[in-house]
Structure formats: structure tokens, C-alpha cells
Structure 1
Amino acid sequence: MAWVALIVSGLFETVWAAALSVSRGLTKPVPTVVFVVALALSMLGLGYALRTIPVGTGYAVWVGIGAVGTAAYGMVALNDPVSAGRIVCLVLIIAGVAGLKLLH
């Protein structure tokens, strides 16, 4: 159950980062509320997961999920640059996260 909580909290990290981006410096009410709620859920899930998952592994997986999700969101929804090099780097992050899970 801790791994499920960790993965879901990593996805909430992507949500809060995206909401922060569109909130225009926390000046738009709806994205700001989404940011605050997603941030709280992300932290609660991470805290729960770290009860049983070592902090180094848990934090790295959480950040990896959030980083890849946020980068993908930026490329798809915000017209961030897409290149082969960026995709390779994201795949390497995914491989590292998977490796941490498998070697846990």
C-alpha cells in the first residue's frame, strides 16, 4: 500500500506543479486552490509512504514521478520544447525510478 500511496502522491506533485504554473503567481483563485489541495495530498501521501519505504528511495521515486509528469505536461499542454534529447533524459529518469523500486 505504501508504494501505491507514493505513486499517487507523485502524480499529485505533477498536479500541484501544473496548477502553480497556471495560477500566475497564486493570483488566480481556482488554480491556487488546486495547487494547495494537490500539494497537501502529495505531502500526506509521501509522509504515509515514508513510514515503510526508506526516505532516500521514497523521495527519489516521488520526485522522479513528479519531474517526469510535470515535464510531460509542459511539453503536451504548455508548448515546452520537445526534442529527442529531452525524451531520452525523461526515459533515463523513469529507468532510475524503476531501478530504485526493483532494487528496494
Structure 2
Amino acid sequence: MHWLVLIASGMLEAVWATALGASEKFKKTAPTIVFFIAMIASMAGLAYAMREIPTGTAYAVWVGIGAVLTVAIAMIRGEEKATTARILLLLGIVACVIGLKVVA
């Protein structure tokens, strides 16, 4: 259960990071609201997961999921280039996150 919450929290990290950029320095209301709600939920989920998962592992998985999804969203939106090298590097992060789960 803690791993599922951690994965969802990592996904919410991508939501709040994307919303933060869309808020244009908190000038746009809707993305600003999404940012705060997703950030609070993401942090709460991370804190919950850390009850059973070691801090370093939980944080690395949370950041990895959030970072990969944030870049993927930007690529899908056309805000960042989706080059072969970038995609392979992102897949490397995914492999490392999976590896942390396997050895935890």
C-alpha cells in the first residue's frame, strides 16, 4: 500500500510542477490552485509512504517519478524536444526507480 501511495505522490509531483509553470508566477488562478492542492497531497503521500519505506529510497522514487513525468508532459505539449537521447535518459531514470523498488 505504501508503494502505491508513493507512486501516486510522485505523479502528483508532476502535476504540481506543471501547474507551477502554468501559473506564470502565481498570476493565473486555476493553475495556482491546482499547484497548491497537488503539492499538499503529494507531500502528504510522501510522508505517509516514508512510514514504511526508508527516507532516501522513498525520496529518490518520488523525485524520479515526478521528474520523468514532468519532462514527458512538456515533451507531449511541445514545450521541450523529444530527442532519442532524452527519451533514453528518461528511461534510465525509470529503470533506476524500478531498481530501487526491487532492492528495497
Bucket of the pairwise TM-score, normalised by the shorter protein? over 0.9
Q: 1:78 offset after TM fit, Å?
A: 4.0
Superposed counterparts of 1:7-18, under 5 Å: 7-18=7-18
Runs ≥4 residues deviating over 6 A: none
If the length of structure 1 is used for normalisation, what is the TM-score?
Answer: 0.98
If the length of structure 2 is used for normalisation, what is the TM-score?
Answer: 0.98
Amino acid at match of 2:2: A
SS across alignment from 1:95: helix
Q: 1:53 offset after TM fit, Å?
A: 0.1
Q: 1:77 offset after TM fit, Å?
A: 1.3
Q: Which runs of 5+ in 1 are unaligned?
A: none
Q: What is the distance in 1 between the residues matched to 2:79 and 2:46?
A: 29
Q: Identify the residue that residue 64 of structure 1 maps to in structure 2.
A: 64
Q: Identify the residue that residue 82 of structure 1 maps to in structure 2.
A: 82
Give a deviation string over 1:66-85, Cα, whole Å, max 9, x none. Answer: 00000000000143111011
Q: What is the distance in 2 between the residues matched to 1:70 and 1:24?
A: 16
Amino acid at match of 1:7: I
Q: Identify the residue that residue 45 of structure 1 maps to in structure 2.
A: 45
Aligned residues: 104
Q: Which runs of 5+ in 2 are unaligned?
A: none
Amino acid at match of 2:42: S
SS across alignment from 1:51: coil
Q: Identify the residue that residue 32 of structure 2 maps to in structure 1.
A: 32
Amino acid at match of 2:55: V
Task: Say whether residues 1:5 and 2:5 are aligned partners.
Answer: yes
Q: What is the distance in 2 between the residues matched to 1:9 and 1:51?
A: 14
Q: What is the distance in 1 between the residues matched to 2:26 and 2:78?
A: 18
- How well do the aligned residues superpose, as a CA RMSD in angstroms? 0.6
Identity %: 50
